[in-house]
Structures are given as C-alpha cells and as structure tokens.
Amino acid sequence: MFTRGLWNLPTHGLRSHFDELDRMRRHLDQVFRQVEPSRFAGRGAGVFPLVNLTETAEAYVLRAELPGVAAENLDIQTMGRNITISGERMIEVEPSAKYHRRERESGRFSRAIALPGDIDRDRVSAVLKDGVLQVTIPKAEAAKPRKIEIK
C-alpha cells in the first residue's frame, strides 16, 4: 500500500493510523512533562477531583475525592444552580530522585458542577474527612417535592 511504503505505517486500516498518532501524542506529552515539569504541572491530572452527585428529597450531596488536599487549600463557591470546587494539591517533588512512574499530579484544579434544581445557598455545608470532601447542598423550598393531599 502507498502509505506503508511512504511512511512505514501499518496498513490495518485507517483506525490503526489514528491509534499510532494517539500513542505518539501521549509519548510526547510524557517527554515534555519530564523535560519541563513546571510548565505542565496540574494539566495531566485530567478531570480532578472525581465526584459523585446524589440527590435526596431534601438536598443534593456532592462527594469529591481529594487525597492530599488540605481544607485550607480548598475554595467552594455557589452561583445560581452551580457549585465550584477549586484548590491546590501540593505534592513534594524529590529533585534528586529518578522517577520510574509519576502519576500523582500536583497543582491547581477547579471543577464546576451544574445542579439539577434550585438550591438554598445559605445552608450549604462541607466536611473534609479521610481525603473525601462531602458537600451537602440543601434544595430550595420551591425545588423540594410536595405531597398533595387528595380530598
């Protein structure tokens, strides 16, 4: 095939070409993070922190995994139907160590989560325990289910 002779790429179809390009992109990202880690700090963590959002009749409960993050490094804000969790995870870098694998990222992060209904912003509470942040977000009275009595 023409592409195999020209670029020495496998000819298993178009998908394999994109797989190879994706592999090369990941490899280059890894090389650049090793060469200039400060430039790429906080970027490789992907979606951080991981969150679960559940709902009860009275409130929404947001649980976020935040291992290694101190409470004083967190900022939680509400606006309208959105809640934002931002902060910074600081992991000590060992400059003299030779890393064989480095998956724990440090740096600033921010997650904005849209809530499905109106909330009572004045009664939002948060607890950080064992690396898990739990934010209880009470529903506004208008958003709570109301039982209608049949006469």
- 18-32 tens-digit pLDDT: 778 878 887 887 777
In a domain, 75, yes or no: yes
In a domain, 82, yes or no: yes
Distance CA 79, CA 61 (A): 16
Structure tokens at 149: 């009595």
Count Cα neighbours of 13 within 13 Å in the Cβ-side half-sphere.
1
Per the model's pLDDT, the better-predicted residue between 147 and 124 turns out to be: 124
The angle formed by the CA atoms of residues 115, 53 and 90, to the nearest 5 degrees, is 105
58 and 13 part of one domain: no
- 75-119 tens-digit pLDDT: 999 998 999 999 998 888 888 888 888 777 788 888 999 999 999
Per the model's pLDDT, the better-predicted residue between 92 and 4 turns out to be: 92
Say what the pTM is.
0.64
What residue numbers bound the domain in which 75 lies? 51-142
For residue 123, what is the domain's CATH number? 2.60.40.790
**Do 43 and 107 form a contact (C-beta atoms < 8 A)?**
yes
